[in-house]
Amino acid sequence: MSRIARAGLDRIPTYAPQPLDGVDLDLRDNVNLWGAPPHAMAALRAADPLLLTQYPSVGATRLIDTLATSLGVRASEVVAGCGSDDLIDACFRAVASPGDRVAHADPSFSMVPVFARLNHLEPVGVPLLQNGATDIDGMLATGARIMYLCSPNNPTGTVTPASEVRRLIREAPGIVVIDEAYAEFAPETDWRVEAPAMERVFVLRTFSKAWGLAGLRVGYGVGASALVESVIRSRGPYKVNALADRVAAVAVEQDSAWMQQVARETREYRDRLNTLVRGRVGIRPWDSRGNFVFWEVADDATQLAARFQARGIGVRAFRGLRGIGDALRIGMAPWDQLTRVASMIEELWP
């Protein structure tokens, strides 16, 4: 029988989250459980049917203009995609040739090695340092064409200090991708305005987390015009649909205060849960700056997650993370829902 798929494709994992039986509080995906931004929702309800019958702009012009204005950069320095996933994928394809390497922390965002392999690149995982920080020297030592840095890092929540990011940018031989999917929760981290002047730096943001629009599928990247132009070429046209272009632009224009308030509450509850956990036996909270807590656990994380599930709560279990072991990642929500997580802390780690 002749082969259908390209050689090796079946060895690249597909992203297939399991539906969770009996869960009414799903905290696995770090999405915004406060809801969708109010003005964006109103724009969605009021949408003109022409947004559906006509093609959208090729590259989400409305959103790009709005973002460029709000950041004080040029429209040619911003690119949007079908989630930031799309832009990781497009960027990898745009700047690296088959066989090139992509260095990333291990653990970091699980789709990075997948997108690397899908684009015929070689992912190189670099273990975190003993203190949980991303190992910049280790990344540089790979000599990779692409240095992918996630800050705050998913799943650990750790932020890479500005001086370390600058060193990575200065010494990297190729392109540095800074994934700021969770940066709205860590305002000390923002490379968007500096990126266009740095030529080889591509900064990624998403509307899926703080902005509460994961289902809309919109992300964007900021960088120098030449880099952005190459990502646009490799991404292809019409990746942001007309509703997404309009609704995300309205969110940026009118829902910023709403988003900031959600981010403030998120940080407060994250730190409150970590305070509850600190000092208990068998569990250690990391200093997460994302919209999730990350708890290193002594017991089997899958079994612990099952105990949460038995109480209707979905949490992400990690088994045998490199240099860490087992861990749980739990997204934030309004406090009246998180009290259920607080009860679980008492139950599992008394």
Residue 324 Cβ vs ligand PMP, minimum distance, rounded to whole Å: 17
Q: Are 179 and 88 in contact (CB under 8 A)?
A: yes
Residue 209 Cβ vs ligand PMP, minimum distance, rounded to whole Å: 7
**Distance in angstroms (rounded) separating the CA atoms of residues 163 and 170:** 10
The token duo for 269 is 């509850």
List residues bridging with 103 in a β-sheet: 124, 147
Residues that bind ligand PMP (CB under 6 A): 83-85, 109, 150, 154, 179, 181, 206, 208, 214, 219
Q: Are 173 and 189 in contact (CB under 8 A)?
A: no
Minimum CB distance to ligand PMP smaller for 73 or for 248: 248
Residue 295 Cβ vs ligand PMP, minimum distance, rounded to whole Å: 17
When CB distances to ligand PMP are compared, the closest residue is: 83
Minimum CB distance to ligand PMP smaller for 241 or for 349: 241
Nearest to 208 by CA among 177, 176, 179, 166: 179
Minimum CB distance to ligand PMP smaller for 145 or for 316: 316
Which residues lie closer than 8 Å to 48 by C-beta, 6 or more apart? none
Residue 180 Cβ vs ligand PMP, minimum distance, rounded to whole Å: 8
Which residues lie closer than 8 Å to 236 by C-beta, 6 or more apart? 90
The token duo for 210 is 């703080």
| Three-class SS state of 20 | coil
**Distance in angstroms (rounded) separating the CA atoms of residues 316 and 331:** 9
Residue 218 Cβ vs ligand PMP, minimum distance, rounded to whole Å: 7
Minimum CB distance to ligand PMP smaller for 267 or for 349: 267
Minimum CB distance to ligand PMP smaller for 28 or for 349: 28
Residue 234 Cβ vs ligand PMP, minimum distance, rounded to whole Å: 16
Minimum CB distance to ligand PMP smaller for 190 or for 345: 190
Write the single-letter amino acid at 151: S
Minimum CB distance to ligand PMP smaller for 218 or for 349: 218
Q: How many DSSP H helices and E strands does the chain contain? A: 12, 13
Minimum CB distance to ligand PMP smaller for 133 or for 342: 133
Residue 31 Cβ vs ligand PMP, minimum distance, rounded to whole Å: 9
Cis-peptide into 152, omega within 30 deg: yes
Can you give the length of the chain in residues?
350
Nearest to 179 by CA among 138, 213, 233, 221: 221
Residue 302 Cβ vs ligand PMP, minimum distance, rounded to whole Å: 20
The token duo for 306 is 């099952």
Q: Are 180 and 188 in contact (CB under 8 A)?
A: no
